[in-house]
Amino acid sequence: MMKKIILVLFVFSLNSVLAADIKSILADFGVKAKINKYYSLQQKKLSDIEDKYFLQVELGYLTPLQFKKIKSHFGNFSKVPYSSKRKYYLVDFLHPAMQATVNQIFKPERNIAPQDMPADESYYLAEIAASGISSYANCWNTTFELVRLLKNKNDNQFQIYWPGRFTATSLIEDKKLSYQVRSSQLEYGDVLAIMLESGAGMRSLQHTSLIISDDLVFEKTDSSENDAYRIAYRSDVLKKYKKLLPRATVMYRRFYNETKLPLADNGFYSELNEQEKLTLKTFFPNIQVENINVGCDEKLGGACLPEYTEVFNTTVKIYKKTGRGILWGPQKLLKRFEALKIKK
């Protein structure tokens, strides 16, 4: 008899933490949400059908109490004000950094080294002469920046760059920073990670998305000029990578409160001698050499393929007219963002 009682209690406890889809979450607040799916002109150029759309979740008009409860559910980060005359959308309640980037693309750049750049006597300059210096954002750059902001209310810095795959893999697996959760326990701010194990037994990160609800994620689909920051169905992320990487595994991580994910540092610049610094500044005059980050991508066999990228620092600010977040940073960076366009 005692065993039966314990079993019943266990089942009740497990069910109490089951993840909920966005419509169910909002229905608990008396809101009937509508999910609209759009196909942008930029996303139509992508290869995978799962990447070719973005979602807009319409909440409509809200009462003050509904507004307060939804805002609280998503961590009270949003600065969007209440108005009985305003139609609301899910994005109005997400973190301002998500509001600042959603439904946009970010155009990557690659700066090729001039042929006359002297590089024979420097290991670093030889690598840069061969590969150039890039500037782009990707999925885990987006996810890690959002996690850091969600776990630290006073932080408003949003870096745009490519963190090395080796670094990203270490961060997602670091048990001091996060712990694994089941797919049935997902909460806003958890991370979906697609992992691939090589023949040598090494695991490498392939993709990340930020969980909004059981059915929705926020992500940057990849790093190309047509890969968007968007809200999407979690099921489509899983479907895409099951198709592309049949051997990949799915992992969900929950980061501890006040986890301080590291910002990109200038460790690379500090390793250069004065002549190397001068050479880079001379032959890459449009790049802040102090902000170059070097990260490892994965070569065949698991070796490091160095990638040199420029780190851009932006600040998440609030646009007074709407209350939504915007990015504040160098003009040459901001002009590389472009809103998704829908054919009328």
DSSP class per residue in 294-327: EEEEEPTTS-EEEEEEE-EEEEEEE-TTT--EEE
Euclidean distance between CA atoms 99 and 74, whole angstroms: 13
Spatial strand order of the sheet with 54-60 comes to 34-38, 54-60, 88-89
Residue that is written with structure tokens 């150029």 in the block: 45
Within a 13 Å sphere around the CA of 156, how many CA atoms are in the beta-carbon half? 14
Euclidean distance between CA atoms 312 and 257, whole angstroms: 26
Q: Which pLDDT does position 209 carry in this prediction?
A: 99
Q: Which pLDDT does position 199 carry in this prediction?
A: 64
pTM over the 0.75 mark: yes
- Cα 173–Cα 271–Cα 123 angle in degrees, nearest 5: 95
* Residue 67 neighbours by CB distance under 10 Å: 24
Q: Could you give phi then psi for residue 194, rounded to 5 degrees?
A: -100, 120
Within a 13 Å sphere around the CA of 328, how many CA atoms are in the beta-carbon half? 10
Per-residue pLDDT of the chain (344 residues; tens, 9 = 90+): 434 433 333 333 333 345 799 999 999 999 999 999 999 999 999 999 999 999 999 999 999 999 999 999 999 999 999 999 999 999 999 999 999 999 999 999 999 999 999 988 899 999 999 999 999 999 999 999 999 999 999 999 999 999 999 999 999 999 999 999 999 999 999 999 999 987 667 899 999 999 999 999 999 999 999 999 999 999 999 999 999 999 999 999 999 998 889 888 767 999 999 999 999 999 999 999 999 999 999 877 778 899 999 999 999 999 999 999 999 999 999 999 999 999 76
- Cross-strand pairs, 105: 228, 338
Distance, CA of 50 to chain centre: 17
Contact in structure between 106 and 337 (CB atoms under 8 Å): yes
Q: Which pLDDT does position 299 carry in this prediction?
A: 79
- List all residues 6 or more positions away from 196 whose beta carbon is below 8 Å from its beta carbon: 203, 204, 206, 245, 247, 248, 249
Q: Which pLDDT does position 302 carry in this prediction?
A: 76
Euclidean distance between CA atoms 285 and 109, whole angstroms: 15
